[in-house]
Amino acid sequence: MNTLTLALRNLMRNRRRSLATLFAMMIGGICILLFGGYIRNIVYGLQTGYVRGGGHLQLQHRDYALYGSGDPTAYGIADYARVMDAIKRDPVLAPMLTVVTPVLSFGGIAGNFDAGASRTVMAIGVVVDDQNAMARWNDYGFPGKPDVMALTGSGPNAAVIGSGVARVLQLCAPLHLADCPPPKIEAASIGTALPGDVSALAAADVAPVASRTDQAQIELLAATTSGAPNVARLHVIEAQMQGVKEFDDVYVGMHLPQAQRLLYGSRMPQVTAIVLQLHHTDQIPQATARLEQLLKTTFHGLPLAVNDFRELNPYYGQTLGLFNAIFGFIAILIISIVLFTVGNTMNAAVVERTVEIGTLRAIGLRRSGIRALFVSEGLLLGALGAAAGLAAALILAAIINHSGLTWTPPGRVTPVGLHLRVWGETGLLLGTAFVMLTVATVSAWWPARRAARLAVVESLRHV
Amino acid sequence: MDLLTIKNVHKTYRLDRIKVPALTAINLHVRSECFTVLSGASGSGKTTLLNLIGGLDTPDQGEIVLDGSPLGSLSDDECADFRLRHIGFIFQNFNLLPVLTAYENVEYPLLLTRAPAAARKARVQDLLEAVGLTQHAAHLPGQLSGGQRQRVAIARALVVAPKLVLADEPTANLDSHTGDTIIALMRRMQRDCKASFVFSSHDPKVLAEADDAVFLSDGRIVEIKRNNEVAR
């Protein structure tokens, strides 16, 4: 008969009250775990999207982030092939790498001459096979097959544009883009109406501009390294929704050689970034340290800097911060409820067992023994509540994950299955269990202290 | 030889702003291996004196020396340890732990002394046999009669082989026949265990069993009868 056994038996005395307390703790545990699992899934999804699109790390000109978007050709990496080769052969980095690939980002003006429409765009030249390899990164086991780039197997002048670009350039019809009505041309508000034959002639001339050709084509105007304008005629093979509207309205994807020809002509081609994708996100610190070491030795003199995906995508950190704040608020709320519930239960137990406390003290149990007894009861309540909460949360998460519910996470345009990542999230599970244990123990401490400080004679007289 | 010496003990309780003297100038010697009864009307100070002797309360003035140890000099933890090893308690309402069986209730003080398991088992079985409850060892207090509960309480009080057992009106909640049986049992156990028993009681049957009887009135000792004078 040790203190824990005695504590357990005491909890069993008033089963209804103990069960009500356990139920409250279980509900609290479920809420924390399910919401935590939901957040984990969002964060992993965001991370997976960023890593698939832009890798874990990027080597860029050290001033590219500040000035490069305005003049990418001035902040390019000239000797990128040598740098990439050295990275791939580096004995420290090589085992961590899945893909090393160059990209060239630049701004320009895309136009549809036939429609008389144009707009500013952000173009990116990529190595398609490398991008497809990056899209296979799935460290968090998301279901479904990886997306294959629409540029795969396409000709050298092929391009993919955002659906917003397609809409503005009036390319929806040839690209078979749904939900993309042609712009309405308002009738003149002043003067008399056109004669019927004249308006029919005008309509025939304006309306089907895009259908005049089977191929959707755009002209992309950009400034070369010398500052002179250069134009590339690109064959648009697909318009893709890019998730974020601001990006969707400016995106033009193309093959890297074509982008380099547009910007550098016959000069030595450059890229704006070398993208490194690692096997695992937790390898970032080690890979960054090695790259910075290489920048000081092998690449000494090159004006390069290493940025990880979190620095390149501030939205990721902001989303993480927002969810952490919400999670923290909910957790504090639930912890407070558990704190008061367990405290109330233990207070009631102290009042009910006052004579028993006096008897134990008379027999020879020290104050610390009384304290230990009631704290043990709180600890046991916490352990049982945490165990019940964990088990229930795992079962509920499994049910929800198999229920077929869908939702549209931030940064996506299509709904995905609602998935709560509770199973396998050791940190979340152990953290929740530890917090519940601690909260239950702490909330039992004050009633335990009160019980220990009771005068023996007064306790024995208690009715 | 005296086991317990009480020197000029005073105790006053405060009820709001009113001081109520519970004990005044108590001087008493309790002999070793004797059956001593504190007798008196309700409110005479019997229970207060027992509480002071047991170290459950402290006197406002005076000294209580038990087996050479002045209780007033002990810290709270030292006093608890002293009670555990030297004093057994028997209460009017039995005060057994309701979640423990008869066996476990008797064993509990031995657990606090960290006695070895084998020694605990032997001691508890001996005592349960002595009080006639071997068959009820696995019963919870709620499954026992009043007399059986008090037997368990007697066994629990004696399990650490204390030098002094204090019993506050041990037969008050028992019927006459059961009360007689319990008194006889305690008398036998007191002799077998060579312990001193101090009772508070106004039951004439208990007084008849006493070696020494101390009569209290209004918090003062009014008479002491030694060597079974009451029975004679």
Give 10-residue mean pLDDT values along chain A (463 residues).
88 91 93 92 89 94 83 86 94 96 94 88 95 93 83 92 91 83 62 60 49 72 86 92 84 95 89 96 96 91 92 90 92 91 92 94 95 94 94 95 82 76 92 92 93 93 81
Q: Which residues of B touch A360 (CB under 8 A)?
A: 97
Dihedral sign computed on CA atoms, order B176, B178, B184, B187: negative
> Stretch B98-102: mean pLDDT, rounded?
94
Taking contacts as CB-CB distances below 8 angstroms, the residues of chain A near B80 are: 361, 364-367
B98 touching A (Cβ < 8 Å): yes
Q: Which two tokens stand for residue A165?
A: 């670009």
pTM for the whole thing?
A: 0.77
B94 Cα to chain A: minimum distance (Å): 10
Strands, E assignment, B32-180: 35-40, 61-66, 69-70, 87-90, 164-168
Are A363 and B156 in contact (CB < 8 Å)? Answer: yes
Mutate to test the interface with A, among B84, B91, B92, B97 (most CBs of A within 10 A): B97
User: Reading across the β-sheet that carries B35-40, which strands appear in turn?
Assistant: B87-90, B164-168, B196-200, B35-40, B212-217, B220-225
Contacts of A455 in chain B (CB under 8 A): 57
Give residues with Cβ within 8 angstroms of A461, minimum separation 6.
Answer: A358
What values do phi and psi take at A190, rounded to 5? Answer: -115, 145
Nearest chain A residue to B108 by CA: give it: A1
List residues of A whose CB lies inside 8 A of any B CB.
Answer: 1-2, 6, 9-10, 12-13, 355-356, 358-369, 455-457, 460
Q: How many CB atoms lie within 10 A of CB A340?
A: 12
Q: Region B172-176: what's the mean pLDDT?
A: 83
For residue B220, what pLDDT is reported? Answer: 94
Min distance A446 CA to chain B CA atoms (Å): 20
* Binary contact (A457, B104; C-beta < 8 A): no
Of B83, B95, B108, the CB nearest to A355: B95
CB-based contact A359 B56, cutoff 8 Å: no
Residue A192's pLDDT is 58
The distance from CA B133 to its chain's CA centroid, rounded to whole angstroms, is 20
| Residues β-bridged to residue B88 | B165
- Coil, strand or helix at A102: strand
Beta carbons of A460 and B77 less than 8 Å apart: no
B-chain residues within 8 Å CB-CB of A363?
83-84, 89, 108-109, 112, 156
Distance CA A99, CA A131 (A): 9
* Element (DSSP H or E) covering residue A305: strand A304-308
Strands (E), chain B: 2-15, 18-31, 35-40, 61-66, 69-70, 87-90, 164-168, 196-200, 212-217, 220-225
Question: Which position has the token pair 């909260």?
Answer: A439
Facing residue for A1 by CB, picked from B83, B91, B111: B111
Which residue from A356, A367, A456 is facing B56, i.e. has the nearest CB?
A456
Cα–Cα distance, A184 to B168 (Å, whole number):
102
Give me the total of CB pairs closer than 8 Å, taking one residue from chain A and one from chain B: 67
Q: Which of residues 32-51 of B touch A (CB under 8 A)?
A: 51
A-contacting residues in B 66-95 (Cβ below 8 Å): 76-77, 80-81, 83-85, 89, 91, 93, 95
Give the mean pLDDT of chain B: 90
Strands B61-66 and B35-40, by their bridges, are: unpaired
Question: What CA–CA distance (Å, rounded) separates B150 from B47?
Answer: 18
Predicted confidence at residue A185, as pLDDT, reads: 63
Strands B212-217 and B35-40, by their bridges, are: parallel
Give the amino acid at A445.
W
Per-residue pLDDT at A193: 58
CA distance B232 to chain A (A): 35
pLDDT (mean) for B8-18: 88
pLDDT at A200: 61
Residues of B in contact with A463 (CB under 8 A): none
**Are B91 and A359 a contacting pair at CB < 8 A?**
yes
What is the per-residue pLDDT across B182-218, written as a single tens digit (0 to 9) for each? Answer: 888 888 888 888 889 998 988 888 888 889 999 999 9
Least Cα distance to B195 among B226, B143, B225, B154 occurs for B154
Question: Which residue type sits at A358?
Answer: G
Mutation site, B56, B110, B112, B163, interface A, largest A CB count within 10 A? B56
CA torsion angle A394 A399 A402 A406 (round to 10): -100
Q: Do B99 and A12 touch (CB under 8 A)?
A: yes
Closest CA to B32 of B177, B163, B166: B163
Cβ(B92)–Cβ(B171) under 8 Å?
no
CB–CB of A367 and B91 under 8 A?
no
Q: Do B95 and A1 touch (CB under 8 A)?
A: no
Min Cα–Cα distance to chain A from B137, Å: 15
Window 151-190 of B: residues touching A by CB (8 A cutoff) are 156
Distance from CA of A15 to the nearest CA of B (A): 13
- Using the predicted structure, report yes or no on whether residue B128 has a pLDDT greater than 90: yes
Helices A367-401, A15-54: crossing angle, 10 deg rounding: 50
CA distance A347 to A383: 19
CA A164 to chain centre: 23
Residue from the list B89, B98, B104 with its beta carbon closest to the beta carbon of A362: B89
Task: Provide the 8-state DSSP code for A297.
Answer: T
Number of H helices, E strands in chain A: 15, 11
Minimal Cβ distance to A457: which of B51, B80, B91: B51
Q: What's the CA gap between B211 and B228, in Å, rounded?
A: 4
- pLDDT over 90 percentage in chain B: 64
Question: How many C-beta neighbours within 10 Å does residue B210 have?
Answer: 26
Asked if the Cβ–Cβ distance from B84 to A363 is below 8 Å, we say: yes
State the angle between helix axes of A284-296 and A80-89 in degrees (0 to 180), rounded to the nearest 10.
120
- How far A351 CA sits from the closest chain B CA (Å)? 15
CA-based end-to-end distance of chain A: 28
The pLDDT-based confidence of B162 (bands split at 50, 70, 90) is very high
Q: Residue A304: which residues within 8 A CB-CB, separation 6 or more?
A: A59, A60, A61, A62, A77, A83, A295
Q: With beta carbons less than 8 A apart as the criterion, state whether A21 and A417 touch.
A: no
Q: What is the pLDDT of residue A209?
A: 44
Nearest to B99 among A9, A362, A363 (CB): A9
Name residue A6's amino acid.
L
| Cβ neighbours for A260, distance < 8 A, ≥ 6 positions apart | A104, A125, A269, A270, A271
